[in-house]
Amino acid sequence: EVQLLESGGGLVQPGGSLRLSCAASGFTFHNYAMNWVRQAPGKGLEWVSAVTGDGVSTYYAGSVQGRFTISRDNSKNTLYLQMDSLRTEDTALYYCAKVMSNYAPFDNWGQGTLVTVSS
Amino acid sequence: EIVLTQSPATLSLSPGERATLSCRASQNINSFLAWYQQKPGQAPRLLIYDSSNRASGVPARFSGSGSGTDFTLTISSLEPEDFAIYYCQQRKSWPITFGQGTRLEIK
C-alpha cells in the first residue's frame, strides 16, 4: 500500500523559511516523479513543484519560482520542499503527490501539512 | 500557462440523477486531462486520467470524455457519497494546472 506522510508545517513569519518533508513507502520511490500541491483555506488546488525520479529535473509554478526548492533523497524515500522568503499568500495545506506515470496524473496523495505565514 | 475553466461552479442535484461537469482548456491539451474528487477534510482522489480512463477502484458510474479543449465528467446516477468538489487537471504542458473546481451539492 502506498503511503505518503508529510511533515514540517507550522507557523512562520513573513520572510521566513520552512522545510517540508514527505516520507514515502509502499512503492519503488526512485521510479516515480513526485509533486507538491497546495490548497489555501477554502480555495482550490494549486500545483507547486515537481521533481523527476532521479532528482535531476525540477519544475516550479511561477508563484514560487526562485523562492521554493524541491528535492528528494532516494536513499531515504523522502521528498522535500524548502520554502524561503515566505509570504502570507503561501498559507496553505501542502500535499505531496505521487505520479501515476510521466509527470501526471497524481494517483496517490498524502494528507497534507499546514503552513501558516503570519506575523 | 493553460487555463482550465470548470462549469458550473455549483451543481445541485438529487441522488439518482445524472451529473454532467464541464472543463474547458484555454488551448489544445489533446487528451491529457484528469479529474479528481475531493471531500471535506480529505486529500483529492484521482477518478479519471487521460480524459476517459477510470483510475483503479473508481466505480463505473463515473465516466470522462472529450479531447482538445472541451471535456466532460459524467456521473450516471448519483450516490450520496458522490457529493463533493471535482477538479480537472491538465498535463499537456508546464506548469501543470487545475481548474477552479465544481461543487456538487445535494438538492
A68-84: per-residue pLDDT in tens? 999 999 999 999 999 99
Count H helices and E strands in chain A, helices first.
0, 11
- Which pLDDT score, from 0 to 100, does residue A59 have? 97
Q: What is the mean pLDDT of residues B40-68?
A: 97
CB of B43 less than 8 A from some CB of A? yes
- Residue B82 sits at φ, ψ, to 5 deg, of -85, -10
Q: Choose among A35, A47, A106: nearest Cβ to B46.
A: A106
- Which pLDDT score, from 0 to 100, does residue A61 have? 97
Determine if the peptide bond prior to B95 is cis (ω within 30°): yes
Q: What is the mean pLDDT of residues A33-49?
A: 98
Residue A104 has pLDDT above 90, yes or no: no
* Angstroms from B67 CA to nearest CA on chain A: 16
Residue of B96, B97, B98 best to disrupt the A interface, most CBs of A under 10 A: B96
Residue A33 has pLDDT above 90, yes or no: yes
CA separation for the pair B8, B17 (Å, rounded): 16
Q: Where are the beta strands (DSSP E) in B3-84?
A: 4-7, 10-13, 19-25, 33-38, 45-49, 53-54, 62-67, 70-75
Residue A103 has pLDDT above 90, yes or no: no
* Dihedral (CA of A22, A28, A30, A31) sign: negative
**Cβ neighbour number for residue B99 with a 10 Å cutoff:** 26
- Which pLDDT score, from 0 to 100, does residue A102 have? 81
Q: Which amino acid is present at B45? A: R
B80: helix, coil or strand?
helix
Share of chain B above pLDDT 90, in %: 100
Q: What is the mean pLDDT of residues B66-93?
A: 97
Which residues of B are less than 8 Å from A102 in CB distance? 91
Contact B91 A102 (CB under 8 A): yes
Chains A, B: CB pairs < 8 Å: 62
Q: List residues bridging with A85 in a β-sheet.
A: none
Contact B46 A104 (CB under 8 A): no
Residue A112 has pLDDT above 90, yes or no: yes
Contact B43 A112 (CB under 8 A): yes
- Which pLDDT score, from 0 to 100, does residue A101 have? 84
Q: What is the mean pLDDT of residues A31-48?
A: 97
Residue B35 has pLDDT above 90, yes or no: yes
- Residue A90 sits at φ, ψ, to 5 deg, of -85, -5
Q: Return mean pLDDT, chain A.
A: 97
- Nearest chain A alpha carbon to B53: A105
- Residue B44 sits at φ, ψ, to 5 deg, of -60, 155
* Angstroms from A57 CA to nearest CA on chain B: 13
